[in-house]
Structure 1
Amino acid sequence: MDEIGGGEAGGECRFGGRRDGELMASASTYLTRRRFGQLAFGSAASLGLPLREALANVETGVPLHGLSAFGELKYAEGFDHFDYANPDAPEGGTFAFSPPNWAFNQSALTFDTLNTFVLKGNAPPRMTFLYEGLMTSSLDEPDAIYGALAETVTVSEDRLQFDFMLRPEAKFSTGDAVTPEDVVFSYETLAEFGHPSIQIALRDFKSAEVVDERTAQITFDANQSYQDAIGVLSLPILPRTFFEGRSLDEPTDEIIPGSGRYTVGRYEFGRFIEYEKREDYWGEEQGFAKGLDHFQTLRIDFFRERQTALEAFKKGLVKFREEFTSKSWATEYNFPAIQSGEVVKREFPAELFPRFQCWALNQRRERFADVRVRRAINLCFDFEWTNANMFYGLYDHSQSCFENSEFMAEGAPSEAELALLEPLRGEIPEEVFGEVWTQPVSDGSGRDRDRLREALDLLQEAGYERQGGRVRDKNGQPFQLEYLVDDPGFARVYGKFVQTCQAIGIDASVRVVDAAQYTDRTNRFDFDMIGHAAGISPTPTTNGLRSLFGSETADRQGSSNYPGMASAAVDRLIENVGEVNGREDLVTAMRALDRVLRARLDWIPNIHSNAHRAAYWDIFGFDTPKPDYGWPVERLWWIDETKS
């Protein structure tokens, strides 16, 4: 899921974080380190294949150095380093930055725990840098993973069992070797006590066992697709002995030792944290790690207000900042250091994976359960006016949960898509079988009367009446809509939307709360409406989809199913996704799902941008082009002494 989710959000981007200004970053999202819990998908139903027959073209019964969803790897056994890594770059220095994404229970506004693997508390972003997994992803392939702690992996014929031979040199920061017992402990403990995003990803985990002194075996039950299985083989491995007399499921001020490149240095809860590179890191010359992580120190300062964080950047206290507020990007990056060239303002291309940024109306509250109500509220958002007057023309109106990807449906369904959709006729909106839903376009006036009239008509069809200037239900109660946010910038940007809702009689408002309250309320689904953004994997998994769209997560606190959507038909489409045996079938399955999601409008697509807008003090070196499937600047850049 993104360290939101990282690069982009890597791990399950649900990674539920927050971004400045217009964007909400998900913890779900890509983890910058290893993209654990990628939101992914697939489907063999179009081929009429049973679950176990839709298998990737992967060798079984022999030790392998890497795996991918469809059996294709860019890097051969014994590769020296990833192409985007630079072994010749200088080492050292401090990288002080504002993290653009985070994962699990992490927050960019404050922190009160060093345990990032549970729902409770707020951990600092990049705590995952302390830990290695059995395998790790590359950033220039859509779905490949390579051995990290594991030297090799052997896959059973049914693709449900994985035997990992650990590297003998792999050690925790305590100096203790990483053992098969640690692997067994980690998977069993995280499956029972881990953050909900981890538990969802491990829903089909069956067992972990010690095979011998160097080998651990992980087994999944028959419901687990191969794509889903490889999506959880990058889980962090924790030291079993550390937890003797301790429990994983509570916040802590203790550092849980890891086997990763960094450890925690200086920190002060709620103010700053520094991660220090380990001198005794065991993986320095391994292909998966060589040429990455050039900075000696990674420093994150915590600011509760966006403007305060920007001022810290202007003063040079922060050296890198990705900007998510269009007004700031358009009007505030004109300070003296920009004009002198000391600070560079630049756009970098976005990654090649779907952009998910949507509104969630909480259907656990009955008034939002009718799709006509959701469509009416969407009509109150005049994107054309907002983009011109508030976003400085920097955004596009999202049509889909899978924006900017091949998974977006177009026009009428293809024959292959109909093969998936026809068995669900009567359970899905009839319009799915026609032209795909697209966003309504306004006249740009900010008060398009035709749209407002249509919104009122939809509310009336849903059983509401406009009386005395207020939209009321059959009992005469006003229709209320509270937009919950954790940054005052949202109140400014979406103020016109709220005013338009009020103009047609909806009792609409924006509630700004602090980071801790926002996390608590969203975890408990205590809201009317929120925004959520995540980076979704280019090869999605069913477990990632379930977290956003599945019935089983509708009432699971801590999941990313914020709308509370529950549809047996959508569940079946998600199951299809885990059964594909090729890219073409994956695209077909995803487009079929996209059609249904857009017609239902449980998630209301909002806005997106296809670029990173970043500013940085001109003291860094980096290689171009950037990787296509992640952009963890803190891992890829270095201090250029000729500039600094």
Structure 2
Amino acid sequence: MRHAATAPLLLAGLMACLPVQAADPADVPTVHGLALYDEPALPADFPHFPHANPEAPAGGTLTRAAIGSFDSTNPFIIRGTPATDLTVIYDTLLAANPDEPFSLYGLLASGIRLDPERQWIEFDLHPEARFHDGEPVDAADVVFSFETLVEQGQPFYAAYYADVVDVRAVDADTVHFDLAESESRELPLIIGQLPVLPAHYWEGRDFEATILDPLLGSGPYRIAQVEPGRRIVYARVDDYWGRDLPVNRGRHNIARLVHDYYRDQTVALEAFKAGNLDLRIETSARNWATAYDFPAAENGFVERLMVPDGQPAGMQAYVMNLRRETFQDVRVREALNLAFDFEWLNRNLFYGAYQRTRSYFENSAMAAKGLPSEAELALLEPYRDQLPERVFEKPLPMEQPDAMRPRLAKALELLSEAGYVVRDGVMVDAETGEPLRLEVLLFDTQFERVVQPLLRNLAKLGIQGDIRIVDVNQYLNRLRRFDFDIIVGSFPQSANPGNEQRDFWTSEYADVPQSRNLIGLADPVIDELVDTLIAADSREALDTAARALDRVLRWGFYVIPQWHLGQTRIALWDKFGWQEPFPIYNLDLDAWWIDPDRAAMIEARQRSR
């Protein structure tokens, strides 16, 4: 009897070890869209995104500020400082609906076939798809784009598409991607986000060289004017092949998108007040509270909006560079965290506008809270010997004294344990006598006032801190080489984190120039937790994996978390139209338009001044 019962179990075990048989593409139905979980919300015959107005007027100009300078029109490579907004000239295979957590619908692709076992995905291309020079967009362009970006583009692309085994053109209008058995649910969707470049244009050109040419794309805008370091202008493509696709109808209405470059945000704000800029996304709480009482605003020509943001807040923080010996001791990193006084900043500089950020997945169900759940423990227990006891035994958010005096006292204890002592008012290494010194690297002068209070608290501990402000180009060059002690960095998160987490946290990208692993993390436990997150096959599994990763990152004290605001602050001259309600997950300025009557009124006002 025992053998009779065991035989089916053995057979089942052997079957489970066999490779999954991928379906034949001919047997897989063609669909109009993909969702990470379940089905896309919009049917195959949807006319347009709900927040877009197909009757919106076309025309007008939107002028915005960019800060710093630029010397390249290629946004995909390591070299150079690219101009802003360059992706508007390119189409992708699929387009996201900003009103859904993660659903994509056909753009260049007219149809999608996804293997039920997620071993491959195929896209049928629109036969009408054209680059701006009239040449058709075909499968060979998709293959070229994928291979070029992965092999010659920024490290992000290699991380993002790491589990793509092969890509090939089935015919002129069909492209096929073979996928590794990584169990990454999002991989088919992020392949759909691939920007498609013209292979014929790049033939004979050096893709990795900085360039200022008006590059060729197939998107709703083309580059119309390039003034290096000063201005870039995009013009609406009148004969854009995809104008009437459901994902585009009622969008890309504005005729000219202008980005003028300014030295810093202070100058840009004055340009907005003078009417030289049309719209401004305000990042300063002080400016929002005090800087918009000028006559045009008081007379109703300028409007301010607070648009809710349904995405996780992510992590904005002071990022410590683990490649520097100073930050390799977790006790030093924790001590620096204790010296940060968010409540003072929020009360004295931010007009009470912000909330303290604690989680890498703040403002979402993915943020770790309390002690680890049973599901989290199942992921963390295999690494118990490699993780601090606090990961398992201490609840989140972590307990810290509210007042600065006991916080600084605790910081002194930690620094003493790490081998530092105070001599003549200076914190030094007890063995070498070297001072504990750090530098905060910035490119925006308006952040200097925010850093100063942290440095004052560090000075009370005897730590020597400086601020170094450099221009944007120098800042980016230093960032590429990881040549910094501390920077203000951010790790944005979507409602469905996935492959991009490799670029943020994993060992493979710790020393790759221009990767987003700013911290320099090279921890095998974090690597495996990232793999677990990427492989999550349900919303519950994704949330659990994100919480486990969040818990390990937070107890590592790799950054000093700052603050977040669950809204986007927009100041604008009152010539724009939009349709409400706004999409839940992303602000979509592409669905806005310019009201010709209100624009004429504002232009007349400017001329009469």
TM-score normalised by the chain length of structure 1: 0.87
Task: Using the TM superposition, give the Cα deviation of residue 440 of structure 1 relative to its aligned residue in structure 2, in angstroms.
Answer: 5.7
CA distance in structure 2 between the aligned counterparts of 1:51 and 1:440, rounded to whole angstroms? 49
Aligned to 2:331: 372
User: Deviations for 1:414-442, whole angstroms, at most 9, x for unmatched residues?
Assistant: 11111111111111111111343436666
Task: Using the TM superposition, give the Cα deviation of residue 534 of structure 1 relative to its aligned residue in structure 2, in angstroms.
Answer: 4.0
Q: Is the Cα–Cα contact under 8 Å of residues 153 and 165 in structure 1 kept in the other structure?
A: yes
Q: 1:547 to 1:328 in 2, by over 3 A?
A: same
CA distance in structure 1 between the aligned counterparts of 2:31 and 2:588, rounded to whole angstroms? 27
Q: Is the Cα–Cα contact under 8 Å of residues 115 and 255 in structure 1 kept in the other structure?
A: no
Aligned to 1:81: 48
Code of the residue aligned with 1:375 in structure 2: it is E
Aligned to 2:69: 110
Q: Is the Cα–Cα contact under 8 Å of residues 143 and 538 in structure 1 kept in the other structure?
A: yes
Code of the residue aligned with 2:489 in structure 1: it is H
1:95 aligns with 2:62: yes
Aligned to 1:639: 594
1:505 aligns with 2:462: yes
Counterpart secondary structure, 1:455: helix
Selected match of 1:493 from 437, 450, 465:
450
CA distance in structure 1 between the aligned counterparts of 2:19 and 2:278, rounded to whole angstroms? 50
Selected match of 2:151 from 192, 202, 207:
192
**Where does 1:250-261 land on structure 2 (aligned, <5 Å)?**
250-261=209-220
CA distance in structure 2 between the aligned counterparts of 1:518 and 1:512, rounded to whole angstroms? 8
Larger deviation, residues 324-333 vs 515-524: 324-333
Code of the residue aligned with 2:422 in structure 1: it is R
Q: 1:267 to 1:455 in 2, by over 3 A?
A: same
Q: 1:612 to 1:381 in 2, by over 3 A?
A: same
Q: 1:179 to 1:457 in 2, by over 3 A?
A: same
CA distance in structure 2 between the aligned counterparts of 1:516 and 1:409, rounded to whole angstroms? 37
Counterpart secondary structure, 2:223: strand
Larger deviation, residues 72-81 vs 351-360: 351-360
Selected match of 1:279 from 220, 230, 238:
238
CA distance in structure 2 between the aligned counterparts of 1:52 and 1:539, rounded to whole angstroms? 28
User: Deviations for 1:79-129, whole angstroms, at most 9, x for unmatched residues?
Assistant: 211111110111110011236xxxxxxxx4211111111011111111100
1:537 aligns with 2:494: yes
CA distance in structure 2 between the aligned counterparts of 1:196 and 1:454, rounded to whole angstroms? 40
Aligned to 2:187: 228
CA distance in structure 2 between the aligned counterparts of 1:579 and 1:272, rounded to whole angstroms? 43
Code of the residue aligned with 2:438 in structure 1: it is L
User: Deviations for 1:195-237, whole angstroms, at most 9, x for unmatched residues?
Assistant: 1212221222222211112111122333362313422321111
Higher RCO structure (Cα 8 Å, ≥6 apart): 1
Task: Using the TM superposition, give the Cα deviation of residue 403 of structure 1 relative to its aligned residue in structure 2, in angstroms.
Answer: 1.0
CA distance in structure 2 between the aligned counterparts of 1:497 and 1:548, rounded to whole angstroms? 25
**Where does 1:365-404 land on structure 2 (aligned, <5 Å)?**
365-404=324-363
CA distance in structure 2 between the aligned counterparts of 1:524 and 1:51, rounded to whole angstroms? 45
Selected match of 1:597 from 549, 553, 556:
553
Counterpart secondary structure, 1:388: helix
Counterpart secondary structure, 2:226: strand
Q: Is the Cα–Cα contact under 8 Å of residues 384 and 441 in structure 1 kept in the other structure?
A: no
CA distance in structure 2 between the aligned counterparts of 1:551 and 1:436, rounded to whole angstroms? 27
Task: Using the TM superposition, give the Cα deviation of residue 51 of structure 1 relative to its aligned residue in structure 2, in angstroms.
Answer: 13
Task: Using the TM superposition, give the Cα deviation of residue 364 of structure 1 relative to its aligned residue in structure 2, in angstroms.
Answer: 0.7
Q: Is the Cα–Cα contact under 8 Å of residues 380 and 452 in structure 1 kept in the other structure?
A: yes
**Where does 1:232-631 land on structure 2 (aligned, <5 Å)?**
232-438=191-397, 443=402, 448-473=404-429, 474-541=431-498, 543-631=499-587
**Where does 1:145-160 land on structure 2 (aligned, <5 Å)?**
145-160=104-119
Q: Is the Cα–Cα contact under 8 Å of residues 442 and 451 in structure 1 kept in the other structure?
A: yes
1:69 aligns with 2:36: yes
Q: Is the Cα–Cα contact under 8 Å of residues 160 and 221 in structure 1 kept in the other structure?
A: yes
Q: Is the Cα–Cα contact under 8 Å of residues 89 and 217 in structure 2 kept in the other structure?
A: yes
Code of the residue aligned with 1:85 in structure 2: it is A
Q: 1:76 to 1:429 in 2, by over 3 A?
A: same
CA distance in structure 1 between the aligned counterparts of 2:518 and 2:27, rounded to whole angstroms? 39
CA distance in structure 2 between the aligned counterparts of 1:545 and 1:436, rounded to whole angstroms? 24
Task: Using the TM superposition, give the Cα deviation of residue 161 of structure 1 relative to its aligned residue in structure 2, in angstroms.
Answer: 1.5
CA distance in structure 2 between the aligned counterparts of 1:278 and 1:591, rounded to whole angstroms? 45
Aligned to 2:7: none
Task: Using the TM superposition, give the Cα deviation of residue 638 of structure 1 relative to its aligned residue in structure 2, in angstroms.
Answer: 1.0
Q: 1:508 to 1:51 in 2, by over 3 A?
A: farther
Aligned to 2:8: none
Counterpart secondary structure, 2:170: strand
CA distance in structure 1 between the aligned counterparts of 2:545 and 2:448, rounded to whole angstroms? 38
CA distance in structure 2 between the aligned counterparts of 1:51 and 1:458, rounded to whole angstroms? 53
Code of the residue aligned with 2:531 in structure 1: it is E
Task: Using the TM superposition, give the Cα deviation of residue 345 of structure 1 relative to its aligned residue in structure 2, in angstroms.
Answer: 2.3
Q: Is the Cα–Cα contact under 8 Å of residues 138 and 172 in structure 2 kept in the other structure?
A: yes
CA distance in structure 1 between the aligned counterparts of 2:134 and 2:42, rounded to whole angstroms? 30
Relative to its length, the structure with more helix (as a share) is 2
CA distance in structure 2 between the aligned counterparts of 1:439 and 1:571, rounded to whole angstroms? 24
Work out the percentage of aligned pairs sharing the same amino acid: 39
Counterpart secondary structure, 1:216: strand
TM-score normalised by the chain length of structure 2: 0.92
- Which stretches in structure 1 are left out of the alignment for 5+ residues? 1-48, 100-107
Q: 1:60 to 1:440 in 2, by over 3 A?
A: farther
Q: Is the Cα–Cα contact under 8 Å of residues 491 and 504 in structure 2 kept in the other structure?
A: no
Counterpart secondary structure, 1:63: coil
Counterpart secondary structure, 1:387: helix
CA distance in structure 1 between the aligned counterparts of 2:223 and 2:204, rounded to whole angstroms? 22
Q: Is the Cα–Cα contact under 8 Å of residues 313 and 564 in structure 2 kept in the other structure?
A: no
User: Deviations for 1:279-315, whole angstroms, at most 9, x for unmatched residues?
Assistant: 1100111111111111001111110121110010001
Q: Is the Cα–Cα contact under 8 Å of residues 172 and 258 in structure 1 kept in the other structure?
A: yes
Code of the residue aligned with 2:113 in structure 1: it is T
Q: 1:120 to 1:513 in 2, by over 3 A?
A: same
Counterpart secondary structure, 2:386: coil
Counterpart secondary structure, 1:98: strand
CA distance in structure 2 between the aligned counterparts of 1:427 and 1:51, rounded to whole angstroms? 33
Q: Is the Cα–Cα contact under 8 Å of residues 353 and 629 in structure 1 kept in the other structure?
A: no
Code of the residue aligned with 1:110 in structure 2: it is S
Aligned to 2:82: 123
CA distance in structure 2 between the aligned counterparts of 1:149 and 1:439, rounded to whole angstroms? 47
Q: 1:335 to 1:114 in 2, by over 3 A?
A: same
Task: Using the TM superposition, give the Cα deviation of residue 353 of structure 1 relative to its aligned residue in structure 2, in angstroms.
Answer: 2.8
Larger deviation, residues 58-67 vs 229-238: 58-67
How much is the aligned-residue C-alpha RMSD, in angstroms? 2.0
Give the greater-gyration-radius structure (CA): 2
Task: Using the TM superposition, give the Cα deviation of residue 269 of structure 1 relative to its aligned residue in structure 2, in angstroms.
Answer: 0.8
Q: Is the Cα–Cα contact under 8 Å of residues 59 and 254 in structure 2 kept in the other structure?
A: yes
Code of the residue aligned with 2:473 in structure 1: it is A
Q: Is the Cα–Cα contact under 8 Å of residues 121 and 188 in structure 2 kept in the other structure?
A: no
Larger deviation, residues 148-157 vs 518-527: 148-157
Code of the residue aligned with 2:520 in structure 1: it is G
Q: Is the Cα–Cα contact under 8 Å of residues 72 and 211 in structure 2 kept in the other structure?
A: yes
Code of the residue aligned with 1:256 in structure 2: it is L
Task: Using the TM superposition, give the Cα deviation of residue 52 of structure 1 relative to its aligned residue in structure 2, in angstroms.
Answer: 8.9
CA distance in structure 2 between the aligned counterparts of 1:357 and 1:218, rounded to whole angstroms? 35
Counterpart secondary structure, 2:529: helix
Q: Is the Cα–Cα contact under 8 Å of residues 376 and 547 in structure 2 kept in the other structure?
A: yes
CA distance in structure 1 between the aligned counterparts of 2:521 and 2:247, rounded to whole angstroms? 39
CA distance in structure 2 between the aligned counterparts of 1:254 and 1:147, rounded to whole angstroms? 29
Task: Using the TM superposition, give the Cα deviation of residue 411 of structure 1 relative to its aligned residue in structure 2, in angstroms.
Answer: 1.1
Code of the residue aligned with 2:417 in structure 1: it is E
Q: 1:157 to 1:52 in 2, by over 3 A?
A: farther
CA distance in structure 1 between the aligned counterparts of 2:468 and 2:554, rounded to whole angstroms? 27
Q: Is the Cα–Cα contact under 8 Å of residues 358 and 401 in structure 1 kept in the other structure?
A: no
User: Deviations for 1:7-26, whole angstroms, at most 9, x for unmatched residues?
Assistant: xxxxxxxxxxxxxxxxxxxx
Task: Using the TM superposition, give the Cα deviation of residue 584 of structure 1 relative to its aligned residue in structure 2, in angstroms.
Answer: 1.4
